[in-house]
Amino acid sequence: RDLVRSRGLGDVYKRQMGSLYRLPLGFGWSAGAMRWTDYITPSTLHLGPFVELLIEPFAGVDGLAQLQLGLHEVLVNAVRHGNGCDPAKCLRVRRILTPRWLVWQVQDQGDGVPTQRRSGGLPDCLDAPCGRGIFLIHHCFDDVRWSQRGNRLQVAIQRSRLSGRGPGSLDP
């Protein structure tokens, strides 16, 4: 396991596993090769460069706007609501690439989102200052899962939704 500092992103750290591993059966996807990369970053709302780093392997693929929007919303929620915008706290992000899925796991250091607030519905009052983020996340990704505690969110999109659309096609 190699921990390296990523250029241009301050204190973002990256650990990458370059070899291919088999997913255990019953993991939710078909068994096949996967690669993952871990990132640790301070809790900040300056997220544009970090989102770009997270989707870097897919640069040039058409239709990334929805993916970018969803990832940005996941990270903003983790910083604002999970870590309370505390720069002393960190976010841990794991990007997992499988033959069929693109997966991101985002964990903050907060107490977690209560179970009743994890659904993807709109708030009763549409003019409320917050409450639309989880709705947006559910519409940007094919699969949204929470840890039991609620401070780790896993979002995934099927490769087939993005493949074959541009020069950087995601077909395995």
The DSSP bridge partners found for residue 101 are 158
Instruction: State the DSSP string of 138-171.
Output: HHH-SEEEE-SSSSEEEEEEEGGGTTTSSTT---
Question: pTM, whole model, 2 decimals?
Answer: 0.76
Conformational region of residue 111, where left means phi above 0, alpha means psi within -120 to 50, and beta covers everything else: alpha
Judge whether 63 and 42 are in contact, CB under 8 Å.
no
Burial level of 172, CB count in 10 A (0-12/13-18/19+)? exposed
Q: So what's the pLDDT on residue 168? A: 40
Q: So what's the pLDDT on residue 154? A: 95
**What is the chain's pLDDT, residue by residue, as a tens digit (172 residues)?**
333 334 334 445 555 443 333 333 333 444 456 788 899 998 989 899 999 999 988 877 877 888 999 999 999 999 999 999 999 999 999 999 998 899 999 999 999 887 777 676 666 666 666 667 888 899 899 999 999 998 999 999 998 887 544 444 444 3
- Tell me the two tokens of residue 61: 């693929």
Q: So what's the pLDDT on residue 126? A: 67
Q: So what's the pLDDT on residue 163? A: 57
Judge whether 134 and 119 are in contact, CB under 8 Å.
yes
- Distances from the Cα of 24 to the Cα of 27, 30, 31, 32, 92, angstroms: 6, 9, 6, 9, 23
Judge whether 106 and 50 are in contact, CB under 8 Å.
no
Q: So what's the pLDDT on residue 120? A: 67
Q: So what's the pLDDT on residue 9? A: 42
| Parallel, antiparallel or unpaired: strands 2-5 and 90-97 | unpaired
